[in-house]
Amino acid sequence: MIGRLRGLLAEKQPPRLLMDVNGVGYEVEAPMSTFYQLPALGKEIVLYTHLVVRDDAHLLFGFASETERRLFRALIKVNGVGAKLALTILSGISADEFARCIRDDDTASLVRLPGVGKKTAERLIVEMRDRLSDWQISDGIHIKAAADADPASTGGGVKDAIAALVSLGYKPQEASRLISKVGTEGLDSEALIRAALKQAVSR
Is residue 41 scored above 50 in pLDDT?
yes
Q: What is the pLDDT of residues 20-36, one digit of tens each?
A: 999 999 999 999 889 88
Residue type, 111: V
Average pLDDT estimate for 3-13 = 94
For the segment 39-58, the average pLDDT, to the nearest whole number, is 92
> Out of 3.30.460.10, 2.40.10.480, 2.40.50.140, 3.30.300.30, which CATH number does the structure's domain 4-63 have?
2.40.50.140
Which one is the CATH code of 149-202: 1.10.4160.10, 1.10.8.10, 1.10.3720.10, 1.20.200.10?
Answer: 1.10.8.10
- Mean of pLDDT over the chain: 81
Query: Per residue in 74-132, pLDDT tens?
Result: 999 998 899 989 998 998 888 888 888 898 899 998 998 888 899 999 999 999 988 88
In CATH terms, the superfamily for domain 67-129 is 5' to 3' exonuclease, C-terminal subdomain (1.10.150.20)
**Residue that wins the pLDDT comparison between 114 and 39:** 39
- Strand duo 4-13 + 16-21: pairing: antiparallel
Asked whether the beta carbons of 32 and 190 are under 8 A apart, the reply is yes
What is the structure's pLDDT at 155?
44
Query: Distances in Å between the alpha carbon of 79 and those of 96, 121, 186, 190?
Result: 22, 11, 42, 31
Q: Is the pLDDT of residue 187 over 90?
A: no
Residue 76's pLDDT is: 93
